[in-house]
Amino acid sequence: MWSQDDHKLLEALNPDAVLFVGDLGNGEIRFIKEIQEIKIPTAVVLGNHDRGNDFSGYQLKSQIDFLGEKDCSWSRKIWSSPPVVIVGARPCSAGGGYYLSPQMRAVFGPVTLSESIRRIVDSSLDTPGDLPLIILAHSGPTGLGSNAHSLCGRDWKQPEIDWGDKDLELAIDKIKEARSVDLVVFGHMHHHLKRGKGVRNTFIMDEKRSIAYLNAASVPRKGVDVNDELISHFSWVEFNEGMLTHVSHRWFCPDASIAYQEDLYNLQ
């Protein structure tokens, strides 16, 4: 959930941009209002917990409308500062291949698997090839492993299987035929596995496809350090001259100092 304290911390950190991977607050518009006030470039894909409890789709539509240009559902952002292209995947995904909830059907219509693929791919067309492309999703794609500790592996029920989005995997394959994909960032699958099974893998660099995959779902995002001081999690990504150079998980103190950092990738 996003709060005024998060907003203050973000202002102190002053990144070039911020991406939200969803599950912001169970359909409550007050969290969306906080996000709408962010002044730096912002892109949002809503999660399955954001779709609301009403099958009419009213809560979901209200959030999308309030987000305005920050919403990245099946759409794109081309920014000059920072110089990057953001392509949004299917919103409100719960993983598990392909499923459209009643709320999604009410807002977007009966979007098929092939139509979702087309929308993601179309959003990537006619984008500057010299700018890095980031795909922003709630659930990650299939194809990243079928064990519980995999980036999108099911950990709450047997058997352990790949619980990613099929439309996203197929869309990425099609986009790669036309241009590079530098980073796919998503959430949904919590870093800490159910029933004390350990910690999920949260980053893969697919050397064959030249794509980095980052799971940013540190849940809960807020906690305390060894001194009982409040800390907040952000996944941190850096590009230099169009190339991905750094990926880490960072836990910040309220004064924006780093309490703990887990490096995931550093370009040598």
**Within-domain flag for 84:** yes
Residue 259 placed within a domain: no
Q: Note the Cα 232 to chain centre separation in Å.
A: 17
Decide if 182 is inside a domain.
yes
Identify whether 101 is part of a domain: yes
- Residue 243 burial by CB count (10 A; 0-12/13-18/19+): exposed, middle or buried? exposed
Q: For residues 103 and 60, is the Cβ–Cβ distance under 8 A?
A: yes
Q: What per-residue confidence (pLDDT) applies to 7?
A: 85
CB distance 88 to 45 below 8 Å: yes
CA distance 201 to 262: 12
Residue 265 falls inside a structural domain = no
Count how many domains the chain has.
1
Among residues 220, 211, 223, the alpha carbon closest in space to that of 265 is found at 211
Phi, psi (deg, nearest 5) at residue 248: -155, 160
Q: What is the mean pLDDT of each run of 10 residues along the chain (268 residues)?
A: 82 96 87 92 97 92 96 97 97 97 97 98 96 98 97 96 98 96 97 92 90 96 88 97 96 95 93
Domain for residue 262, yes or no? Answer: no
pLDDT value, residue 226: 84
Q: Which residues pair with 152 in a beta bridge?
A: none
- In sequence order, the β-bridge partners of residue 185 are 136, 214
Residue 87 has a pLDDT of: 98
- Domain of 18, CATH number, reads 3.60.21.10
CA distances from 103 to 27, 107, 255 (A): 11, 6, 39
What is residue 31's predicted lDDT score, i.e. its pLDDT?
87
pTM (two decimals): 0.96
DSSP letter assigned to residue 56: T
Query: How many whole angstroms separate alpha carbon 40 and alpha carbon 6?
Result: 14
Answer yes or no: is 268 within a domain.
no
Whether 50 and 66 have beta carbons less than 8 Å apart is answered as no
Q: Which tokens belong to 203?
A: 């980053």
Give the residue numbers spanning the domain of 84: 4-246
- pLDDT, residue 191, reads 97
The pLDDT of residue 254 is 92
Buried-state track 107-141, b at ≥16 Cβ within 10 A, e below 16: bbeebebeebbbbbbbbbeebeeebbbbbbbbbbb
Q: How big is the CA angle at 216 (ends 7 and 191), to the nearest 5 degrees?
A: 120
List the structure tokens of 44.
Answer: 């949002």
55/181 Cα distance (integer angstroms)? 35
Reduce the DSSP state of residue 39 to 3 states and report it.
coil
- Maximum pairwise Cα distance, the chain: 51
- Tell me, what's the pLDDT at 28? 82
Report pLDDT for 26. Answer: 80
Question: Nearest CA to 216 among 267, 251, 253, 255?
Answer: 251
Q: What is d(CA 128, CA 79) in angstroms, rounded to the nearest whole number?
A: 10
> Does 254 reside within a domain?
no
Closest CA to 215 of 255, 165, 161, 259: 165
Cα angle 56, 189, 17 (rounded to 5 degrees) comes to 85
The pLDDT score that the predictor gives to residue 217 is 97
| Confidence (pLDDT) at 29 | 87
